[in-house]
Structure 1
Amino acid sequence: MPFDWLHNKINPEFAKKIEPRFYEMHRLEMEQRARLLFNLKYPRERAIERIRQNIAWDFELSRIPQFYEEVPEVVDRVYRRSGK
């Protein structure tokens, strides 16, 4: 007896539409974490390491997403804008 709930029935067009939202949500979260760590006086290198550890933990059961490599860029931008 097959179970309907076992297989996704997501419309491929809808999946394409929400994919950029996933990326944008995590990019915003990286910026917010970088700002928080800046306010807590974390050094830039430690902030990069900390955010990468958070991402690795979030995706420990799946493939590490592409935005993992963008962490230094995001942290640098936040720290530069904040004057450090």
Structure 2
Amino acid sequence: MDDVDRVLERTIDELLDQRRPGTTICPSEAARAVDPEGWRELMPAARAAAGRLVAAGQAEVTQRGEVVDVATARGPVRIRRPR
């Protein structure tokens, strides 16, 4: 894990702290906060950071409102605090 991975985890955590309980964020929000110009290249790393937060019990990843495994989910996902 490199510095960008840690920054993405921290950014996801901070964005979730700023939201109402139960509210979700998109991984792209974290990627854009870390690198506004090169955020698209950070998307795989942002999804991986979300996966690490899930493994640590700090987040859930959802798709169409259902909890999913970010490693196997295809398409857009959202991140929220565990319920």
Normalised TM-score (structure 2): 0.47
Which is greater in Rg?
A: 1
Higher helix share: 1
Normalising by structure 1, report the TM-score: 0.46
